[in-house]
Amino acid sequence: MIIESPIISCGRSAAFLHEYLSNPTNLEPLLPVEHVNAFQAEGDSCSFKVAGGFDVVLKCIDGEEPVIVRYESQKGTPIRFTLHVVIEPQGDEVSTLQIQCDADLNPFMKVMAEKPLQNIFRGMAAAAEKAFPIA
């Protein structure tokens, strides 16, 4: 199942966004506080709790600089998914960004997890747009 955020515009270069979003620590201010808590980051991984009761552990894996940042769920996360942050340069200091999640959900987990994940990824996109406004 694919879950996608809206495509948003950011007032930063694709290279900057790729470097920034490849650091798991930098995901914390983008995660919506109404849907996520207990954020922790160390090295190339981070973890947090999703409202609704499940833990998410992510590890930054290979990406395609400067257009894709990839995170993969790790042991401790009840669902397997890959998170892609797709960055498209639109000029020197303007890029579009979209968060895409490819989740392996059985029908029961889909009912439980789809809405919370949609809310998180929409919230992340909105926070990125606010954090990196176009001048």
**Could you give the 3-state DSSP secondary structure of residue 55?**
strand
Instruction: Give whole-number Cα distances, 128 to 25, 31, 83, 113, in Å.
Output: 14, 9, 16, 23
CATH number at residue 89: 3.30.530.20
Number of domains into which the chain is organized: 1
Q: For the residues 15-41, what does the mean pLDDT come to?
A: 96
- Residue 52 pLDDT grade (very low, low, confident, very high; cuts 50, 70, 90): confident
CA distance 52 to 33: 13
Chain-centroid distance of CA 106 in Å reads 21
* Domain span including residue 104: 2-131
pLDDT in tens, 100-109: 999 988 888 8
Give me the residues paired with residue 58 across strands: 46, 73
Quick one: which of 22, 12, 13 has its CA closest to 83? 22
For the chain, how long is the longest CA-to-CA vector? 45
